[in-house]
Amino acid sequence: MIFDKLTNLHKYSKLHHRFEKAFEFIKTADLDSLLSGRHLIDGEDIYISAAEYFTKDEGYLEGHREHIDIQLITKESEKIGFALHTDQVEKEPYNEARDISFYHGHCDHVTLVPGTFAIFFPEDLHKPGIMDRKLVEVKKIVVKIRV
């Protein structure tokens, strides 16, 4: 897991062969105006999932096998939990069509605000959408990158 300022995004471009193209989109696109839904950048290898939703009190850890997530907020803030995928108790088994599984377990948190991002690799579990200080409606951009 990586948590940093968007101004430092360039430092991570060599970590994966698809990062440079994804980062270029993040730097040049008008992310605030993206409509909710799925937006292809490089076919199914790199795409955006944009959403607006209300934060919540609690949630479950989730994990992906086939994708890396780059998550950022363009409106308001949210806490996002993170933990290494070790021996967490599975809540829902892996759904191959959605590339997701859910887990119970302890995690630490960071707070995503506009101008920051988090990268979650397949070995990282994450719990998005948790309210920071109060319930708010966030706009979230998740860049999905095929591993």
Indicate whether 133 pLDDT > 90.
no
CATH architecture classification, 2-146:
Sandwich (2.60)
Domain ranges of the chain: 2-146
CA dist 80 and 118 (Å) reads: 9
- At 1-45, the pLDDT tens digits run 999 999 999 999 999 999 999 999 999 999 999 999 999 999 999
- At 90-119, the pLDDT tens digits run 999 999 999 999 999 999 999 999 999 999
78 burial (CB, 10 Å; 0-12 / 13-18 / 19+) is buried
